[in-house]
Structure 1
């Protein structure tokens, strides 16, 4: 099969077509630097992608493999040109859409396309539109670029746009990729981070045979057309490391059986949840602080469930902090390590049938452990903590926190006494999740592999 070619236009002599950049020439030279390598695939740095967006170039944005697992050509709406629209149509082959904030759609009285969105990933299509003036049929590259410009123009009134049309606005959620890890929000975030109007133009990339292009094909596409390629995951990490999303709401003294702690209430814009920090003693940026980052577990922490070691770990961590006279315990609202109480209990049902905690999660469609420590890291920074003596048996937690600029100077084991009800669970944590705990003396029967933190992944979006 042959790739469809864009109509001829002036360009530098080259055996390969290059993606247009803001109407001035074609692409610039690539830095060749990448943020990370996944297998043999190299993804570029978010900083480099933002620079290209600012300069009117396109980038390829790849979403999660558990989502649509697609790549979109993405550029800032403010920089769109007929040449860019034509490149998307000829080489991307997917539907060309315009992600934009809801405030602008409301100003232009552009409603949702449907009253009830049943799309698997809740892509928020608005009614399609096109400019009424200075266009012909509305479908040409020139006309679609003109429609994008009209939507952005502050002088455009609702009656300046025809409905339906050939441009498909997508309503981006407030909070961007931190509230919805979608292509819509990624395009808006990239434009905003580039200092441009928070709106983009995107187009899915399809193979010549009409199938969706996946990462290996996307990497070849990026090389062929001189484009940066990034992931939404990396964009999320980039924002979490550079922007503040937690706010302190309340502070009080909390008497406990381990003495008095200062309890500080935080709200996170990322998950719209409240989280708690228990602090003892004076915290200094210069000194390593004993820290426990504890994920919520209603059954273990409050109800005393023996299917897990969560309650025992919580109690032991508070005891250790009290003994040292200084430290921080974060109580993060990640019930079931992210999947919530309902799904955790469903995982318990599967464990009763013989699945272990990892198998139960996978049976429900979750990965073993996708917890994010960005919210906890931001709370620690707000408290003045930079060096940690981290109480954990989970090496991934160390990597997760250090990924947000904190320095774990010591791992402090947090071992508890196994019970007959959680022997299988502890064995699974050690063998399948890599936790640094001693092997139980004997193993529980397979049906007894109970787990108070069965949920170890996040729902697919």
Structure 2
């Protein structure tokens, strides 16, 4: 029997529409109705919650509201050894308590941490997709309580399957030659999909030979480093020097991926930067905010390469996570090649942390030698 169809397509396609709408609602500080079988719960971003809405939600909660927090944030709150998402009971929706548990540096768990269920984990995934803090107020409700409310309802299966569905829909929507300084023979290819409603870009430098291992760099967008030349990271150096190297060495492909701040978004990146200015290590700063070492996904990057006809790559990266992701997606990694930036007083701790905490292949001696003044 053929599947039913609506204006928005078949059921799998309507799931995407529902999540797209849910993300817009969630980022606008409005609750989203999550469904898991017969279970229903209203999910609201903890960082965006407003007092008047909290009062209305509390009238529905019957004392069963809970705060869902990531394992990283719970570890920072003193739940030692926590490896999974957890929940804290909220007899009342106390926004001061929510702010403390979700954001305050000196906060500690103030109640037993319970295990998260399917609704809780889906709520955190909704927060991550929305690029807000991974902290969610979850209010279990009955269908009759919210009947007639203008809520967006979405199943947890749709939320959990959203990233993979976006990869499957990845498509080229535009391409054109864009001559660059030092690399005049360059083409930009724009893909739609991969991560929510954002576009991704492949920069094809020169005429790389697709029958051999193509030099490829997966480069996550960094507004501060790429555009403004921030001294806090080496991203801008890696971007420009990779393009220059490709132009001088028979071409290559740079994928410019919209995954700012290791996938946490620009607002959370700035929060982490503020913590770093107070002495926190880059990864500790992210953990304070509730994020693990790296929130990025690279399956859609591999899909972009496949659509461009690439089957084997020389990976221009210091990050083993990227190498593993390319291999896991079915592409051959014929070789790897380091991409050096320039160390300075502002980024040397950051570079050392990437080496020591995330296993990046960074030779600090070679970097310092590169930065030393030439005779």
Same fold (TM over 0.5): yes
Per the normalisation by structure 1, the TM-score is 0.47
CA pair 121-246 structure 1, distance change in 2 beyond 3 A: farther
1:425 & 1:122 partners in 2: Cα distance?
36
Indicate the RMSD between aligned Cα atoms, in angstroms.
Answer: 3.5
SS in 2 for 1:415: coil
What is the correspondence of 1:119-134 to structure 2 with a 5 Å cutoff? Answer: 120=136, 127=143
Shift, 1:174, TM fit: 9.3
1:124 & 1:405 partners in 2: Cα distance?
41
Residue 418 (structure 1) aligns with: 343
Residue 247 (structure 2) aligns with: 322
Contact 1:246–1:269, Cα closer than 8 Å, also in 2: yes
What is the correspondence of 1:178-327 to structure 2 with a 5 Å cutoff? Answer: 178-179=161-162, 244-260=168-184, 261-268=186-193, 270-327=195-252
Per the normalisation by structure 2, the TM-score is 0.57
Residue 14 (structure 1) aligns with: none
Gaps of 5+ in 2: 1-69, 72-82, 88-116, 120-134, 369-375
SS in 1 for 2:262: helix
Deviations 1:150-200 (A, max 9, x none): xxxxxxxxxxxxx99xxxxx73279652437xxxxxxxxxxxxxxxxxxxx
What is the correspondence of 1:17-416 to structure 2 with a 5 Å cutoff? Answer: 66-67=84-85, 120=136, 127=143, 171-172=154-155, 176-179=159-162, 244-260=168-184, 261-268=186-193, 270-416=195-341
Deviations 1:229-284 (A, max 9, x none): xxxxxxx5xx68xx622111111111111223100111115422111110024455
CA pair 96-332 structure 1, distance change in 2 beyond 3 A: closer
CA pair 175-332 structure 1, distance change in 2 beyond 3 A: farther
Structure holding more helix per residue = 2
For the pair shown, the structure with the greater C-alpha radius of gyration is: 1
Deviations 1:63-114 (A, max 9, x none): 9965469xxxxxxxxxxxxxxxxxxxxxxxxx999xxxxxxxxxxxxxxxxx
Gaps of 5+ in 1: 1-62, 70-94, 98-118, 130-162, 165-169, 181-235, 444-461
1:290 & 1:283 partners in 2: Cα distance?
8
Shift, 1:441, TM fit: 8.5
1:332 & 1:433 partners in 2: Cα distance?
20
Deviations 1:407-449 (A, max 9, x none): 1110011112211211111111111111111125999xxxxxx
SS in 2 for 1:338: coil
Deviations 1:282-335 (A, max 9, x none): 455431100010000000000000110000000111011101122100000001
CA pair 323-269 structure 1, distance change in 2 beyond 3 A: closer
Deviations 1:366-404 (A, max 9, x none): 101131101111111111111000100111110011111
Range with bigger deviation, 286-295 or 263-272 = 263-272
CA pair 440-128 structure 1, distance change in 2 beyond 3 A: farther
